[in-house]
Amino acid sequence: MQNYPEHIPQLLGEIYRNESRFVFATLIRLLGDFDLAEDAMHDAFKAALEQWSEKGIPSNPRAWLVSTGRFKAIDSIRRQSKFDPLQLQQVQRMEAETADPSKQVDKEIEDDVLRLIFTCCHPALSPDAHTGMTLREVCDLTTEEIARAFLVTPSTLAQRIVRAKAKIRETNIPFEVPPEQELPDRLGAVLQVIYLVFNEGYSASSGESVTRVDLSNEAIRLGRLLLDLLPDPEVTGLLGLMLLHESRRHARTTPTGDLILLEDQDRSLWDQGMIEEGLLLTERAFSSKRAGPYTLQAGIAALHAEAKGPDVTDWAQIAGLYSLLLRMNPSPVIELNRAVAIAMHNGPEAGLQLINAILERGALNDYQLAHAARAELYRKTGRTNQARASWERALALVKQDPERRFIERKLRELGR
């Protein structure tokens, strides 16, 4: 087994975490095939491990990896195409049409990630495929991680992704941001998946950490890129919403990684720069007089950001915004959030009646936050046994370690 200088594998590991999605997205554009691009990316990182140890680290590692991956893919196709004139034509087309990627500027390569999202969200693909493809191909989540987040089996999710890739290949779906006249019709799916990426980063669906900063940062970067491309009120609202949520990151956990609820957070730890930008974007989105669901959610986040504490938060206005959001986008999760806001404004009994009605319909029986919200309202009304049963139901459903520890602590406090 070959030994490499210790810093090279460490550096490549860091580059893989930070750059692999850019490299992969650009290779898809250059090669026109998801699977070929993925193989080429891994070949490029393998070549880097061998060559950088001997020849030194290139001045632009990202461009080097793209260029090397492209050449590796062309060489691979050439070896397989000796008796296949169609594959030989494919190689010749790649060589003729594609300039050396090492000459491309980083901005052009970064835009490839946005092209990749629009491809994954093409209307010819199913909505389930939009989400699965984006989280897998853009965010590099494993099939198992995505399946857990969306309550499907890994094999079901893998089949969706395979079918989507085949459809992209067979119908020649272009790897591009669509023309300006087509953008509004495609925008909803793209906004949805960017927000899903952010949510998986802001509140990881499983694992040892509450958050994944790499995913939330990537979602915010994509939001900025999209806003430059299309200054639509809902794009503005989504970016404002993500920044306002992200501003609270450092206050959401203890130094040991335990969860801290919004009402207990040290608000001096909130990022004031993000809050100022988020408030400005939210105000701009509302000023358009065309507030959509992301703008309404940004308005709710803005009310939290402007309040000095939970006791002086404008819960009546938050409940009103949730009511508007519920009419615009009926959802039991939005209904649950509205119930919690009503509980904060009108008292726990009012919120408890609404949450019980939601759960009695069976809408959120497998959603741990619904049972956690009910448990806390039962506790506030002095019904300890019902609170314990609700916390235990939430504990049975939770998949994230910090949430599990939080619920176990709540159960211990009930015992005392």
Where do the structural domains in the chain lie, given as residue ranges? 1-83, 106-230
Q: Which residue in the block uniquely carries the two structure tokens 């501003």?
A: 247
Query: Pick from 116, 133, 153, 108: which is nearest to 32 by CA?
Result: 116
- Cβ neighbors of 131 (< 8 A, separation 6 or more) are 146, 150, 192, 193, 196
Q: Whole-angstrom Cα distance, residue 304 to residue 292? A: 19
Neighbouring C-beta atoms of residue 358, cutoff 10 Å: 21
Q: Mean pLDDT over residues 163-167, rounded?
A: 89
Q: What is the mean pLDDT of residues 180-208?
A: 78
Which residues partner with 259 through β-bridges?
253
**Residue 156 φ/ψ, nearest 5 degrees:** -60, -45
* Whole-number Å distance between alpha carbons of 87 and 70: 15
Regarding predicted confidence, which is higher, 31 or 281? Answer: 281
Mean pLDDT over residues 31-42, rounded?
A: 87
Find out whether 53 and 5 touch, Cβ atoms under 8 Å: yes
153-157, 239-243, 280-284, 364-368, range with the lowest pLDDT: 153-157
Out of 79-93, 158-172, 273-287, least confident range? 79-93
pLDDT range class, residue 98, cuts 50, 70, 90 = low
pLDDT, residue 350, reads: 96
Torsion on CA atoms 328, 329, 334, 339, rounded to nearest 10: 40
- Of residues 295, 275, 273, 294, the one with CA closest to residue 284: 295
Residue 117 is predicted with a pLDDT of: 85
pLDDT of residue 12: 85
Instruction: State the Cα–Cα distance between residues 311 and 94, nearest whole angstrom.
Output: 62
DSSP assignment of 93-110: HHHHH---GGGS-HHHHH
